[in-house]
Structure 1
Amino acid sequence: MGLYDAYLSVRHRLHDGTPPTHVAIVITERDLLADGAFETLASTLRWGFEYGAERVTVSVSVLDPAVVPSLVREFRRLDAPHPMSIRGPDDTEPADAPIRVNVGLGGKAEFAAAVRDLAGDVDAGEIGPEEIHEETIADRLVFPAEPDLVIKTGAERLSDFAIWQSVYAELYFTDVNWRDFRRRDYLRAVLDFQDRQRRFGR
């Protein structure tokens, strides 16, 4: 660890603010196709748990559905610090592991599927419309947990990430490209989170 990274690490350790317990990292398929991208991801996952996270979600936005199987294979080979749940665009089973990976399942599609599922239950008489609440919808999502901090590299856009779950998340955008993302960049995001006063929409 370099001197500057060590300085940031000490700042984090001495900071009064609570670190994020659920961190989401939003990257693109192009990010992961670059040389060394999965090594960077493995390091970032370790940093997440090292600096206070109890859960890390990785969301990969995909333009070409044909790359999904190869990306999933690479994730399965990843040297991750904790068990992973990997879900693709056709999966409906909720992800439940310390590391949750979304490959190509957009937030709009995930929300629409949850609404269709609920509509089917209403049509079958299994649930009444008045019984549908926020928790009812959240329970039908593939990625139901709400992140505290969302980190997006390279550009200031969320790429259709978790439109329901991230409504109260703190967003951190960095112009550092994924291939150049280092420990110091992750720590800057965590320190920025610790410096903020969360309002949860208020």
Structure 2
Amino acid sequence: MGLYDAYLGVRHRLHEGEPPEHVAIVITERDLLADGAFDTLAAALGWAFDYGAERVTVSVSVLDEAVVPSLVRELRDLDAPRRMSVRGPDDTESVDAPIRMNVGLGGKAEFAAAVRDIATDVDAGELRPEEIDEAAVTDRLVFPTEPDLVIKTGAERLSDFAIWQSVYAELYFTDVNWRDFRRRDYLRAVLDFQDRQRRFGR
């Protein structure tokens, strides 16, 4: 596989398309609890910055809320190539960092919280209904930055990730399980992104 990885790397360097500046990686709780999954994540973060990303968002969807504290602790100890912000569903502080991770905070819950904040501001007379626009919602999201590329391993679904922010993102699904995700798989996602003509809803 070494020659094939090298081929992909050469093709990437020669490609005329721009790489994604903001990459989002969607991982399930089950993915992250597999042996070696945290090492794979640390490596994937490095690949993202090696191949042109300026920001990476990692979303971990969770079915068993009891595992959230341990996952958050493990992620905060991750050997990452850039400064990170890691938060669980009950954290309120939002830190802007090149790598932002959320554990157990689904897109539906995030959007509902933004709507509640808007309703509160309207009720307090701080915002008029006719002033509510896309920016009013975006400004109240935990992760307001829109990803260029969303990578999901194992299944073709977003697992409740960033419903609002991902509306114009390029989605890349691979049947490779997270524990088997390698540099060549990341490169395939970047090359696929570069080959697409982005329309942003037009």
Same fold (TM over 0.5): yes
Counterparts of 2:87 and 2:3, CA distance in 1: 38
Letter in 2 for 1:100: R
State the Cα deviation string for residues 90-118 of structure 1 (Å, max 9, x = none): 23333411001010000000000011011
Matched, 1:52 2:52: yes
1:138-179 Cα deviation digits (max 9, x unpaired): 010001000000000000000000000000000000000001
The equivalent of 1:110 in structure 2 is 110
Distance 2:91 2:73 in 1: 16
The equivalent of 1:37 in structure 2 is 37
Identity across matched positions, percent: 86
Q: Tell me the residue number matched to 2:94.
A: 94
Moved segments of 4+, more than 6 Å: none
Q: Which runs of 5+ in 2 are unaligned?
A: none
Q: Secondary structure at the match of 2:198?
A: coil
- Does 2:173 match 1:189? no
Indicate the larger mover: 109-118 or 86-95: 86-95
Paired residue for 2:169?
169
Partner Cα separation in structure 2 for residue 129 and residue 93 of structure 1: 27
Q: 1:60-139 to 2 correspondence within 5 Å?
A: 60-139=60-139
Take 2:139 and 2:93, find their aligned partners in 1: how far apart are those partners?
11
Deviation at 1:191, TM superposition (A): 0.1
TM-score normalised by the chain length of structure 2? 0.98
The question of whether the paired residues in 2 share the 8 Å contact of 1:94 and 1:144 is answered with: no
How many angstroms apart in 2 are the aligned matches of 1:77 and 1:157? Answer: 28
Mean Cα displacement is larger for which, 124-133 or 150-159? 124-133
| Distance (Å, rounded) in 2 between the aligned partners of 1:193 and 1:150 | 10
Query: Structure 2: which amino acid aligns with 1:40?
Result: T
Residue identity opposite 1:83 in structure 2: R
Give the conservation status (yes or no) of the 8 Å contact 1:110–1:141.
yes
- SS of residue paired to 1:127: coil
User: C-alpha separation between the residues in 2 aligned to 1:44 and 1:68?
Assistant: 21
1:53 Cα offset (Å): 0.2
Alpha-carbon spacing, 1:167–1:112, altered in 2? closer, same or farther (3 Å): same
Unpaired segments ≥5 residues, structure 1 = none
1:148 corresponds in structure 2 to 148
Once the two structures are TM-superposed, the CA of residue 75 in structure 1 deviates from its matched residue by 0.4
Query: What is the rounded CA distance, in whole Å, between the counterparts of 2:81 and 2:11 in structure 1?
Result: 24
- Once the two structures are TM-superposed, the CA of residue 88 in structure 1 deviates from its matched residue by 1.3
Aligned to 2:21: 21
CA RMSD of superposed structures (Å): 1.0
The count of aligned residue pairs is 202
Shift of residue 15, structure 1, vs aligned partner: 0.4
